[in-house]
């Protein structure tokens, strides 16, 4: 039985592909984008999360922890030493408010499909389906492939939200089971891509070209994260534009403006390395949108029509 790790299942999603959808957030990602908006998807392993705003400060967690992972300091602040934690889950089980939780759980393909099938009637009526997001869904290729295959057997429309970072063989096999790709193009310059995401973009671009060459261009929507001074530079936007124009059949672009999500990092005890915190000015977003539109692309923000 193949198992995968996911960190959320969201029903009634309306912005991630056509119709009404179920969104599967898969855990684990080979990239380390500075601005990552879903840090809970970065590592494959389950993580201990602590929401201080929900916490009722009952200190039950401190009492049950045998490894002294959680300490109370000063004005009732919970200090969590995740390095010591062996994920025994005792604290999570007793936490009455739910302030402590585990991000990430293993699930078998069959159980996942059962969960997806619960909203079948909504997909049928609305032309919706399932969207695998993350993290990077391609990071768990076997699990993703088996899940997609089962979905197709059930005539469920499939979408993946992906960075495109995978070996071509794997990518090719999986792409046959995907109806729609929400495909990230972040930075065209290879060196800058490495600098800000931790990996080269060669595989990403070659997989994109492969898709287009095999006639799947119409099944791709390009998603561009607009990160101030990193991806929104005139040079990078120009590069992306030229790249997309050189690829035939791509018609639609989603722009994803940056948000400061440092709180999410705090919950997980992770470090937010993004030096910029301001959002992009609406004028700048509009002007980028217009540039793409001038070239004949259909553009929307956050995928909202």
C-beta separation of 134 from 9 below 8 A: no
| Total of chain residues touching other proteins, rule CB under 8 A | 26
Q: Which of 97/246 has CB closer to other proteins?
A: 97
**DSSP secondary structure letters along 250-290:** --EEEEEE----HHHHHHHT--------SPPPHHHHHHHHH
C-beta separation of 229 from 284 below 8 A: no
Please identify, among the stretches 11-19, 42-50, 230-238, 284-292, the one whose residues bind other proteins according to the rule CB under 8 A.
Answer: 11-19
Q: Where in 39-78 is the site for other proteins (CB under 8 A)? A: 56, 58, 60
**DSSP secondary structure letters along 4-63:** EEEEEEEEEE-SSSSSSEEEEEE---S---TT-S-GGGS-SS-EEEE-TTT-----HHHH
Binding of other proteins at residue 11 (CB under 8 A)? Answer: yes
Please identify, among the stretches 96-104, 157-165, 221-229, 259-267, the one whose residues bind other proteins according to the rule CB under 8 A.
Answer: 96-104
C-beta separation of 58 from 99 below 8 A: no
C-beta separation of 21 from 128 below 8 A: yes
Binding residue (CB under 8 A) for other proteins from 6, 20, 107, 156: 20
Q: What's the min distance (Å) between Cβ of 148 and other proteins?
A: 21
Q: Where in 175-214 is the site for other proteins (CB under 8 A)? A: none
Binding of other proteins at residue 37 (CB under 8 A)? Answer: no
Task: Name which of 8, 24, 33 is nearest 204 in CA terms.
Answer: 33
279: left (phi over 0), alpha (psi -120 to 50) or beta: beta
Binding residue (CB under 8 A) for other proteins from 79, 88, 121, 213: 121
Q: Which of 193/223 has CB closer to other proteins?
A: 223
Binding of other proteins at residue 38 (CB under 8 A)? Answer: no
Q: Which of 239/300 has CB closer to other proteins?
A: 300
The residue ranges that bind other proteins (CB under 8 A) are 10-15, 19-20, 56, 58, 60, 96-98, 101, 118-119, 121-122, 124-126, 128, 302, 304-305
């Amino acid at each position: 039985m193949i198992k995968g790790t996911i960190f959320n299942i969201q029903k009634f999603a309306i912005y991630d592909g056509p119709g009404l959808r179920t969104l599967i957030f898969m855990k684990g990602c080979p990239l380390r984008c500075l601005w990552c908006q879903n840090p809970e998807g970065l590592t494959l392993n389950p993580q201990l999360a602590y929401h201080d705003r929900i916490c009722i400060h009952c200190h039950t967690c401190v009492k049950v922890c045998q490894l002294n992972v959680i300490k109370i300091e000063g004005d009732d602040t919970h200090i969590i030493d995740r390095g010591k934690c062996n994920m025994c889950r005792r604290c999570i089980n007793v936490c009455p408010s739910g302030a402590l939780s585990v991000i990430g759980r293993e699930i078998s393909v069959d159980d996942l499909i059962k969960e997806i099938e619960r909203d079948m009637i909504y997909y049928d009526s609305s032309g919706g389906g399932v969207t695998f997001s993350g993290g990077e869904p391609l990071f768990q290729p076997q699990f993703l492939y088996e899940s997609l295959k089962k979905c197709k057997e059930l005539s469920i429309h499939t979408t993946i939200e992906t960075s495109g970072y995978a070996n071509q063989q794997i990518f090719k096999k999986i792409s046959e089971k995907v109806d729609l790709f929400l495909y990230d193009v972040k930075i065209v310059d290879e060196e800058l891509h490495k600098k800000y995401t931790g990996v080269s973009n060669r595989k990403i671009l070659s997989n994109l070209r492969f898709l287009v060459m095999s006639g799947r261009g119409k099944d791709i929507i390009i998603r561009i994260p607009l990160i101030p001074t990193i991806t929104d530079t005139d040079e990078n936007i120009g590069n992306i534009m030229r790249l997309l124009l050189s690829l035939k059949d791509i018609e639609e672009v989603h722009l994803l403006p940056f948000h400061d999500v440092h709180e999410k990092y705090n919950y997980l005890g992770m470090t937010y390395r993004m030096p910029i915190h301001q959002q992009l000015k609406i004028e700048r977003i509009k002007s980028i949108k217009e540039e793409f539109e001038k070239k004949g692309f259909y553009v929307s923000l956050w995928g909202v029509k």
